Amino acid sequence: QAKMSRPVQARRLEGVDKNIWVEFVKLAATYSTVNLGQGFPDFPPPDFLKEAFTRALSGEKHMLHQYTRAFGHPPLVKILAQLFGKLLGRDLDPMTNVMVTVGAYQALFCCFQAFVDEGDEVIIIEPFFDCYEPMVKMAGGTPVFIPLRPKAPKEGKLMSSADWQLDPAELASKFSERTKAIVLNSPNNPLGKVFSREELELIADLCVKHDALCISDEVYEWLVYDGKEHVRIASLRGMWDRTVSIGSAGKTFSVTGWKVGWTVGPNRLLQHIRTVHQNSVYHCATATQEVVAQGFQREFEHYGKPDSYFVQLPKEMQQKRDQLVQSLVAVGMKPIVPEGTYFLVADISEFKSDVPDVPNSDEPYDSRFAKWMMKNKGLAAIPLSTFYCGPHKNNYNSFIRFCFAKEEATLKAADDILQKWKLEKTTP
Amino acid sequence: MLCASRSFSYLGIRTYQLRADLLSRSIKLSASDTMAFRHKNTRRIEGLDSNVWVEFTKVAADPSIVNLGQGLPDISPPSYVKEELANVAAVDRLNQYTRGFGHPLLVKALSQVYERVCGRKIDPLTDILVTVGGYGSLFSTIQALIEEGDEVIIIEPFYDCYEPMVKMAGAKPVFIPLRNKNDGNSASSADWVLDPAELAKKFNSKTKAIILNTPHNPIGKVFTREELQVIADLCIKHDTLCISDEVYEWLVYKGKKHIKIATLPGMWERTITIGSAGKTYSVTGWKLGWSIGPQNLIKHLQVVHQNTLYTCPTPLQEALARAFWIDYKRMDDPDCYFYSLSRELESKRDRMAQLLQEVGLKPVIPDGGYFMIADVSTLNVDLSDEDGNQPYDYKFVRWMIKSKKLSAIPLSAFCGPETKGQFEKYIRFCFIKEDSTLDAAEVILKNWTKQKN
């Protein structure tokens, strides 16, 4: 057999081949009995959506199985334009201000490919959803990191994700004439931080001052707790023209496996995103778009009402959050109470004695801890170092991230494991 | 707006702020529109914004037009395929993320089917990547393996995305046309051939890959073993990759055989073979495809995939897997959909050819695929009213849509800049259509002849 003798892979893949999820998903599947690791619900999607899916497929509409409009199935882009138009306070054209993607993941990819050239800098706030860094690199850009820094919580209170903040002077120093964009993720994965209006105005002012774009990942926009407000940065002064807002049906409707996402923004930005899309994926699956459109139609009609899924889901999630917080506090893990998302980061310092440090190890401590916990306790969580760039992976190395979008039974089982573990530690 | 504001305040959004923002924004709107804006597109997508489909798929929305243009079946997928998706919709856990590189049940089914077809072991986890359609496989392959400084050979006419994808990867497309060996009197897609000497000249030390499409869109050519051997010999000689787009692999008509170039000696190591659920099961709207090849190549496609969309939809992959298992079990049976679809389409092909011949056209009878091309210049239609700057076939199709309410696709959309003159006499018809659609086309074509007389 004549093998390929020359190097085959393109240089754009340099440094983007590692991905912890491949490893952690495998480990969780092998060892864990209780999986609070990867971010997906283990409860069903809402009934109205499941019914819509079944209805759509039982009809005779076999064109549901053929190509639809490449930039987004018309019923879906229309309802997205209606809903986000109201939320942003402007008239949106479904054909030019909205584009549907294969999950928010592909929306992010299109943004970076459309706007980031070699030599461009992109500001990424740490901790960050891990794909931002390799996507910027694959586009030839240079990621510039700025950390959220924890302030001490108020006396007697648990730390909140609100206590993790950007230093305004530090942020300003990250902007240069090479800055193409800043990636904002609010509510933030993994911390659960919901950026306040004031924090967003700080970012917005810098974007306007430096004529930078804002890629705003708002997939957890409906999961906001304690009456907090999710502020859309695209609605702030000067920001509509320079912001691409990204959303996800997977997170909105608890159907992560459907992979339906979208971008919303001005045509002069979306036109380039459309070019990337038409040269990479082109069409998204029809049936799932049709059903998501129906889901949104239902929510648009029920907006603000008690039975709206956008009201129900955060209510349920808040209870689960509080339950997990209680579990963790009871055993000595220190949770950072999230203002949003279905993730919670906890400080596991009290449990470090179970997993001795290995000096000069390549692997960050929290990663070894999380793997040990999976193998020995059957509980899966994700090390926080996953969400930091290489050089910063050891900055906050005693934290792990739990996903609490789980059924009652799962959270109870997690609690049992934690209680037993605590008992083992305290009993001589 | 007032009603919405009330419900907004239910969720704690400050309506006063919303109204104040609206006011200030309406003042600011005109100012921001005239602001200098430096954010143009990146270099990689420069010149890649236009697309033949943008114009011609709009046509599909007009029900008064008989649409033989875009490759879109209007026949129903097989009932068990639709049923499986309906069954899957009822399973809760199938609504969440599955394995990134391909749903386990699906990659297992694909490995079984293709092991049988290729006669070699295929590892479902390392030798297969599931992508968003054949399109997504082309993109993942090109992004993974092609870069600036590379040349990629593209055979004309070509499925139009090959050129922009190669350009987006920073590489240079090198074109070589299929030529009608019978000098204008082409009855069959087999008459369209590559000149081996001409092909050999296109290979050099910069050649990273050649893109092969068999069965071929738009001509319908099914490359013979000898023709594939010529390509394979050059790939081996120049240590080149082969990107083999075989999405129409099951649509091969009587007397012809689809041969996988990856099964030729020396080719498995350097070939990515692409397949499509959309074309296999007449479900273009499921947008699932796959790349199959050796681990040392597929691993790079997997890296692209994990950095572009990470995972494909679960319910569609599960339903597709179940359909594949049904047909895998009957691959010895003529009722297997892999064989029955091509039988169904062969009669549509023959009917389409007859209809076009009745108008006085000489269609090129395809050996595979579901497209048929015909030289329309022989009709001598007066196109002086159409935009003079456009290629002949674009003008013809626009005229045909307007005056005959029949659509097709101009072939020059599938060529590089040098050969537009050669191919602009041809238009492409799609015949994977219901009888009623072909009946409607028949009415138009019969009336056309009457008007001429």
Choose the closest CB to B286 out of A11, A65, A241: A65
Say whether B287 and A284 touch across the interface (CB within 8 A): yes
Say whether A113 and B45 touch across the interface (CB within 8 A): yes
Q: How far apart are CA A204 and CA A214, in angstroms?
A: 8
Q: How far apart are CA B392 and CA B415, in angstroms?
A: 13
- A50 interaction partners in chain B (CB closer than 8 Å): 89-90, 92
Q: How far apart are CA B41 and CA A276, in angstroms?
A: 10
Q: How far apart are CA A319 and CA A339, in angstroms?
A: 12
Strands A261-264 and A243-248 come out as antiparallel
Q: Note the pLDDT of residue B448.
A: 85
Residue A58 at interface with chain B, using a CB cutoff of 8 Å: yes
Q: How many CB atoms lie within 10 A of CB B418?
A: 10
Q: Note the pLDDT of residue B17.
A: 44
Distance from CA of B312 to the nearest CA of A (A): 7
Q: What is the mean pLDDT of residues A171-181?
A: 97
The dihedrals phi and psi of B186, each to the nearest 5 degrees, come to -100, 120
User: Are A274 and A262 within 8 A, CB to CB?
Assistant: no
Torsion of CA B192, B198, B203, B204, to 10 degrees: -170
- B136 interaction partners in chain A (CB closer than 8 Å): 280-281
Choose the closest CB to A17 out of B10, B25, B303: B303
User: Are B186 and B367 within 8 A, CB to CB?
Assistant: no
Q: Note the pLDDT of residue B29.
A: 42
Long-range contacts of A390-397 (CB under 8 A, 24+ apart): A392/A126, A392/A145, A392/A147, A393/A364, A394/A364, A394/A365, A395/A147, A396/A127, A397/A364, A397/A365, A397/A366
For chain A, how big is the Rg over CA atoms in Å? 22
Q: What residues are paired with B407 via a beta bridge?
A: B67
User: Are A230 and A224 within 8 A, CB to CB?
Assistant: yes
pLDDT at A410 over 60: yes
Q: Note the pLDDT of residue B31.
A: 38
User: Are B363 and B396 within 8 A, CB to CB?
Assistant: no
The dihedrals phi and psi of A262, each to the nearest 5 degrees, come to -160, 160
pLDDT at A6 over 80: no
Residue B429 token pair:
């018809």
- A252 interaction partners in chain B (CB closer than 8 Å): none
Q: Which of A202-216, B34-48, B176-190 tops mean pLDDT?
A: A202-216
Q: Which residue of A has its CA nearest to B132?
A: A281
Residue B15 token pair:
């309506």
Q: How far apart are CA A193 and CA A78, in angstroms?
A: 31
Say whether B309 and A116 touch across the interface (CB within 8 A): no
Of the given ranges (A189-203, B199-213, B406-420), which has the lowest mean pLDDT?
B406-420
Q: How far apart are CA B357 and CA B127, in angstroms?
A: 45
Distance from CA of A292 to the nearest CA of B (A): 13
Say whether B95 and A113 touch across the interface (CB within 8 A): no
Q: How far apart are CA A342 and CA A405, in angstroms?
A: 6
Say whether B308 and A271 touch across the interface (CB within 8 A): no
Q: How confident is the model at residue A209 (pLDDT cuts 50, 70, 90)?
A: very high
Residue-wise pLDDT for B436-445, tens only, equals 999 999 999 9
How many A×B Cβ pairs under 8 Å? 263
Residue A114 at interface with chain B, using a CB cutoff of 8 Å: yes
User: Are B46 and B40 within 8 A, CB to CB?
Assistant: no
Q: One-letter amino acid identity for B97? A: Y
Q: What is the mean pLDDT of residues A256-262?
A: 98
Strands B363-364 and B289-292 come out as unpaired
pLDDT at B3 over 50: no
Query: Which stretch of DSSP H or E encloses residue A24?
Result: helix A20-31
SS3 labels along A166-215: CCHHHHHHHCCCCEEEEEEECCCCCCCCCCCHHHHHHHHHHHHHHCCEEE
ipTM summary value: 0.96
Q: How far apart are CA A331 and CA B191, in angstroms?
A: 77
Distance from CA of B334 to the nearest CA of A (A): 25
pLDDT at B435 over 90: yes
Strands B241-245 and B172-177 come out as unpaired
Distance from CA of A256 to the nearest CA of B (A): 5
Say whether B310 and A275 touch across the interface (CB within 8 A): no
Choose the closest CB to A258 out of B14, B266, B313: B313
Residue A153 at interface with chain B, using a CB cutoff of 8 Å: no
Q: Note the pLDDT of residue A361.
A: 86
Q: One-letter amino acid identity for A77? A: V
Residue among A112, A80, A121, A76 nearest A284 (CA): A76
Residue B209 token pair:
């890959």
Q: How many CB atoms lie within 10 A of CB A39?
A: 24
Residue among B429, B372, B423 nearest B397 (CA): B429
Query: First vs last Cα of chain A: how many Å apart?
Result: 63
Residue A252 token pair:
């909105």
| B-contacting residues in A 317-376 (Cβ below 8 Å) | none
Q: What is the mean pLDDT of residues B404-409?
A: 94
The dihedrals phi and psi of A346, each to the nearest 5 degrees, come to -130, 145
Say whether A2 and B236 touch across the interface (CB within 8 A): yes
Q: How far apart are CA B101 and CA B311, in angstroms?
A: 6
Q: Note the pLDDT of residue B53.
A: 86
Q: Say how far residue A354 (Cα) sits from the centre of its chain.
A: 30
Say whether A279 and B168 touch across the interface (CB within 8 A): yes
Say whether A4 and B143 touch across the interface (CB within 8 A): no
Q: What residues are paired with A336 via a beta bridge?
A: A345
Q: How far apart are CA B295 and CA B302, in angstroms?
A: 10
Q: What is the mean pLDDT of residues B375-403?
A: 89
Q: Note the pLDDT of residue B60.
A: 65
Residue A90 token pair:
């402007």
Strands B151-156 and B207-213 come out as parallel
Q: How far apart are CA A263 and CA A104, in angstroms?
A: 8
Q: What is the mean pLDDT of chain A?
A: 95
| B-contacting residues in A 286-315 (Cβ below 8 Å) | 286-288, 303-305, 310-311
Q: How confident is the model at residue B450 (pLDDT cuts 50, 70, 90)?
A: low
Choose the closest CB to B313 out of A86, A257, A281: A257
Higher pLDDT, B4 or B450: B450
- Burial (CB count within 10 angstroms: exposed 0-12, middle 13-18, buried 19+), residue B254: exposed
Q: Note the pLDDT of residue B11.
A: 38
Q: How confident is the model at residue B378 (pLDDT cuts 50, 70, 90)?
A: confident
Say whether A283 and B287 touch across the interface (CB within 8 A): yes
List the alpha helices (DSSP H) in B75-132: 79-89, 104-118
List the alpha helices (DSSP H) in B264-313: 277-280, 295-306
For chain B, how big is the Rg over CA atoms in Å? 24
Q: How far apart are CA A129 and CA A21, in angstroms?
A: 12
Residue A256 token pair:
């992560």
Of the given ranges (A161-175, B43-57, B297-311), which has the lowest mean pLDDT?
B43-57
A174 Cβ neighbours under 8 A, 6+ residues apart? A123, A144, A146
Choose the closest CB to B32 out of A9, A241, A254: A241
Q: How confident is the model at residue B186 (pLDDT cuts 50, 70, 90)?
A: low
Residue-wise pLDDT for B229-261, tens only, equals 999 999 999 999 999 999 999 999 999 999 999
Residue A38 at interface with chain B, using a CB cutoff of 8 Å: yes
Q: Which residue of A has its CA nearest to B92?
A: A44
Region for residue A335 given its phi and psi (left: phi exceeds 0; alpha: psi -120 to 50; beta: otherwise): beta
- Interface test with chain B among A3, A12, A86, by most B beta carbons within 10 Å: A12
- Burial (CB count within 10 angstroms: exposed 0-12, middle 13-18, buried 19+), residue A223: buried
Residue-wise pLDDT for A298-313, tens only, equals 999 999 999 999 999 9
Residue A386 at interface with chain B, using a CB cutoff of 8 Å: no
Residue A281 at interface with chain B, using a CB cutoff of 8 Å: yes
The dihedrals phi and psi of B139, each to the nearest 5 degrees, come to -65, -45
- Measured N-to-C along each axis, helices B337-358 and B435-452 cross at an angle, to the nearest 10 degrees, of 10
Residue among B136, B171, B296 nearest A105 (CA): B136
Q: How confident is the model at residue B9 (pLDDT cuts 50, 70, 90)?
A: very low
Q: How many CB atoms lie within 10 A of CB B38?
A: 8
Torsion of CA A397, A400, A401, A406, to 10 degrees: 180
Q: For B261, which DSSP code?
A: G
Residue-wise pLDDT for B318-335, tens only, equals 999 999 999 999 999 999
Choose the closest CB to A66 out of B72, B132, B146: B72
- B38 interaction partners in chain A (CB closer than 8 Å): 211
pLDDT at B185 over 80: no
Q: Note the pLDDT of residue A369.
A: 95
Q: What is the mean pLDDT of residues A381-407?
A: 95
Q: What is the mean pLDDT of chain B?
A: 90
Q: Note the pLDDT of residue B21.
A: 45
Residue-wise pLDDT for A412-421, tens only, equals 999 999 999 9
Q: Note the pLDDT of residue A23.
A: 85
Residue-wise pLDDT for A139-160, tens only, equals 999 999 999 999 999 889 999 9
Residue among A410, A349, A399, A389 nearest A190 (CA): A399
- A286 interaction partners in chain B (CB closer than 8 Å): 285-286
Q: Which residue of A has its CA nearest to B168?
A: A279
pLDDT at B25 over 60: no
Residue-wise pLDDT for B77-107, tens only, equals 999 999 999 999 999 999 999 999 999 999 9
- Measured N-to-C along each axis, helices A47-58 and B79-89 cross at an angle, to the nearest 10 degrees, of 170
pLDDT at B30 over 70: no
Say whether A281 and B35 touch across the interface (CB within 8 A): no
- A207 interaction partners in chain B (CB closer than 8 Å): none
pTM for the structure as a whole: 0.94
pLDDT at A354 over 60: yes
Q: How far apart are CA B351 and CA A207, in angstroms?
A: 61
- B269 interaction partners in chain A (CB closer than 8 Å): 1-4
- Local structure of A352: helix, strand or coil: helix
